[in-house]
Amino acid sequence: MDNQNLSDFDEVAAPKSSEETIGSMADESKDKPAHKPLNGRKMAFGCLFLFLSVFLILLLAMAFGLNAKEETILSLGLNPVSLKNWSIGMVNFLFGAIALTSIIILVSSLARRLLSKQDDRVGKSQASKRSFASLAIFAVTIGLWFVTYDYFSQFEMKEPELPIEIITKPTDTLNLTSPIRVEFSAERITAKFEGDGKYDVISYEWDKESDGGVDATGPKVTIYFVDGGKNNGVFNVNLLVKLKPKSGGEIETREYQKEVSIPNQEIYGEITTDKSSGEAPLTVRFDASNIQDPSLAKITNFSWDLDGDGRPDRDGSSYGTTEWTFETIGEHTVTLTVTSEDFNADGTHETKTFEKKITVREAAGTVKSEVWIEATPQRGFSPLSVTLIANQKSVDTQLPRIDKYEWRIGDGLATLWGQRTRYTFEKPGNYPVLLVVTFANGQTSEATEEIIVNDESFTPTAKINTDPEINRSKKAVTGPAPLSVEFDATSSVDPDDNIVKYEWDFDGDGLWDDEGSSTTYEFRDAGEYESVLRVTDADGNESRSEITISVDEENAIVNFGADKLSGAAPVTVNFDASGSRVPTGKKIISYEWNFDLENRAQKQNFIYERAQTSHIFETVGEYIVELTLHTDDGGEYSDSIKIVASYASLSANFSMSRTSGNAPLAVSFDATASSGNVDRVEWDFDDGSASTIEKPTHVFENPGKYEIILKVYDAFGNVSQTSKNVTVN
């Protein structure tokens, strides 16, 4: 650099030595402010202040919420009772946390004071201050806790009332797709009326399409919507509830509705088979004839995938029924796709796929089993009704399964089916009966029996048994009036066992008073009576037997009648005791009635001077009604009868999937249409088979006309019966 360039600078600083540099750096560091450490006490007070602020704001918010009206709380989507419980829980949690913290600090401070050295006066003093402070905080916290809890507890909140309406499952009953089963429940309606204590609900009547009919009864029912019904998929399900005021008066009704809309109606039905399992090779017959389109459009195609390979094995309009033999062991899924002539919204034909499971087991070895026929009776006089039972005894410990029982009666006289059957031989003769059983592996076995039917006819022998029994010394049935005697003629005999009529003349006046193999008669007046039995057989032969009834002078007679002994609750029964009598010389002065003798806890006696009265039995049950006669000499004479207040009368009814078809024909039955308080059901399929389930499926193996009988029972043994016919081609 040239010296002349220096003139351009006013001043040029000489370089500093290393000592000067270090010194200047030290001076600069003194001028800069130093970084201060965090103050722990200030941080603690800051956190405490923040916690108390949030705590106070939360308490005020909860108090403000509880002070609001229940309508306001509900409008915010909150439950008033839940809000109160949550608020009290938060109060307990927050105050509990503060109290627990103060106790911990108190214990810690006391421990520090005790563990401090004797000469550490400052430490001991600070520990004492913290102990007193934490103790004061604890006391204040407990006080505020009590006051706040008491304040929040004073609010009375009620659970929001649910709307009085029909409850369904699924909950949303709009835009459904049939076929579908919908559960309907009247539990909220029941809770409303019975909870108020003013009514008893006596019946529920459900009308599926509001057409005035009764489709189901009971507080909870399931209704099956198979198609769109009469109103293009809209169902206004109507519920009629009948109420009985507890205070008395006429029955009242309430009506409720629930809309069910089914805009989408799919093809419905099921695949039926003659068997669902068996040993290989297993041949199964499949039937899809009950599959239908809800619009009544024709099913135009049946496409069967029988071997599970995803390709159709049968395809066409004629394959409503088909057969397939399964050779492979295991579970097979048969798939059927049906096509209707009806169209979807996109212009394609409506289709639906159905599945059926078939289980194939490994074939068993040779069956080692003996079968024989048990015929009861084996001989007798025509017409002879014989019960036939197929019995089995195995050489091995395991009884092989029998798939089919075939009975061949006489020389082509009849063919029957089932393990147990019955046949009536109308004419005399010797009839061979052949039983052919088919085991699960296809092997068969036979047994024979001969039924002998005779045509002899002899005069029957009449014989009387009584209760009470005859007094051997007096050669008569004896007892005081009124004397009730049970007569039994079942010991009467006939060589061809065909007694058809039993007639009784109890008082010996030559007029027949009753009929039946057993009966009861009451002799009200003292005296001797010659009771006569006449038995007659089917050939017109008759026989007589006599027995003496000796009735002594009467004891007191407590005789009261009722115009009905049973009825649907509430049932009003009129009683009349005017037929009661007491021994000569005594006089009835009052009639004491107890209408529920067995209910000792609520026993009430009603005393009247008149012999007639009436009583309403409100609830279902059995009641023992007792009448006590009081006489002018202080005597008491009692008797009782039973009154049954039952549920609504039974009415048997059922539906079936089909009424005719080709053998073997599988038919599904459904007894849910029966009304009343159904406790159990019994089915008789008229081919020797029976069932006790509500919705059985039965296969009719042979052609013929079968009368299907359904019996329904309630809890008291009452029964209702109905029948329908199935024709098998």
Give the 3-state DSSP-derived string for 709-728, with helices as H, strands as E and coil as C: EEEEECCCCCEEEEEEEEEE
> Residue 544's Cα: distance from chain center in Å?
54
Q: Report the alpha-carbon angle 51-54-55, nearest 5.
A: 80
Q: Are 484 and 522 in contact (CB under 8 A)?
A: yes
Nearest Cα to Cα of residue 325 among 288, 285, 365? 285
pTM of the model: 0.32
Say which CATH architecture domain 167-265 belongs to.
Sandwich (2.60)
Greatest CA span in the chain, whole angstroms?
177
Is 540 a residue whose pLDDT tops 80?
Answer: no
Question: What is the model's pLDDT at position 355?
Answer: 94
Computed over every residue of the chain, the mean pLDDT equals 82
Q: What percentage of the chain exceeds 90 in pLDDT?
A: 30
Mean pLDDT, range 301-311, rounded to an integer: 92
Mean pLDDT, range 557-575, rounded to an integer: 86
Burial of 427 (0-12, 13-18, 19+ CB in 10 A): exposed
Per-residue pLDDT reduced to its tens digit, 313-328: 999 888 999 999 998 8
Q: What is the band of 63 on the pLDDT scale with cuts at 50, 70, 90? A: low
Question: What is the model's pLDDT at position 222?
Answer: 92
Per-residue pLDDT reduced to its tens digit, 284-299: 999 999 888 887 788 9
Mean pLDDT, range 636-658, rounded to an integer: 87
Mean pLDDT, range 702-722, rounded to an integer: 89
Is 78 a residue whose pLDDT tops 70?
Answer: no
Class of domain 655-728: mainly beta
Measured CA to CA in angstroms, residue 316 lies from 86, 335, 339, 556 at distances of: 67, 14, 10, 86
For the sheet with 655-656, list strands across it.
655-656, 665-670, 697-700
Is 49 a residue whose pLDDT tops 90?
Answer: no
Residue 45 vs residue 323, higher pLDDT: 323
Query: Bridge-partner residues for 514, per DSSP?
Result: 504
Question: What is the model's pLDDT at position 41?
Answer: 58
The structure tokens listed for 11 are: 């001043």
- As a whole number of angstroms, the distance between CA 450 and CA 311 comes to 55
Q: What is the band of 44 on the pLDDT scale with cuts at 50, 70, 90? A: low
Give the 3-state DSSP-derived string for 638-680, with helices as H, strands as E and coil as C: EEEEEEEEECCCCECCCEECCCEECCCEEEEEECCCCECCCCE
For the sheet with 561-562, list strands across it.
561-562, 571-576, 612-617
- Judged by DSSP in three states, 159 sits in coil
The structure tokens listed for 678 are: 């159904």
Per-residue pLDDT reduced to its tens digit, 663-686: 899 999 999 998 888 889 999 999
Q: What is the band of 30 on the pLDDT scale with cuts at 50, 70, 90? A: very low
Question: What is the model's pLDDT at position 118?
Answer: 75
DSSP labels for 57-100? HHHHHHHHHHHS-HHHHHHTT--HHHHHHHHHHHHHHHHHHHHH
Q: What percentage of the chain exceeds 70 in pLDDT?
A: 84
Per-residue pLDDT reduced to its tens digit, 412-469: 888 898 888 999 988 878 899 999 988 877 778 888 999 888 665 566 889 999 999 9
Per-residue pLDDT reduced to its tens digit, 247-278: 888 888 989 999 999 888 788 888 999 999 98
- Judged by DSSP in three states, 149 sits in helix
- What residue type is assigned to position 350 of the chain? E
Is 303 a residue whose pLDDT tops 90?
Answer: yes
- Judged by DSSP in three states, 396 sits in coil
- As a whole number of angstroms, the distance between CA 577 and CA 591 comes to 8
**Residue recorded with tokens 């089917």:** 538
Provide CATH 2.60.40.10 ranges for the chain.
167-265, 272-361, 369-454, 465-552, 561-646, 655-728
Mean pLDDT, range 508-519, rounded to an integer: 92
Give 3-state DSSP helix, strand, coil % of the chain, rounded to 5.
20, 45, 40
Burial of 619 (0-12, 13-18, 19+ CB in 10 A): exposed
Q: What is the band of 165 on the pLDDT scale with cuts at 50, 70, 90? A: confident
Segment of 63-72, 420-429, 694-703 carrying the highest mean pLDDT: 694-703
Class of domain 465-552: mainly beta
Nearest Cα to Cα of residue 674 among 247, 343, 217? 217
Residue 130 vs residue 387, higher pLDDT: 387
Q: What is the band of 7 on the pLDDT scale with cuts at 50, 70, 90? A: very low
What is the third-level CATH fold of 561-646? Immunoglobulin-like (2.60.40)
Domain covering 369-454 in this structure, CATH number:
2.60.40.10
Say which CATH architecture domain 272-361 belongs to.
Sandwich (2.60)
Q: Are 382 and 454 in contact (CB under 8 A)?
A: yes
Q: Enumerate residues 6+ apart whose C-beta is below 8 A from 120.
A: none
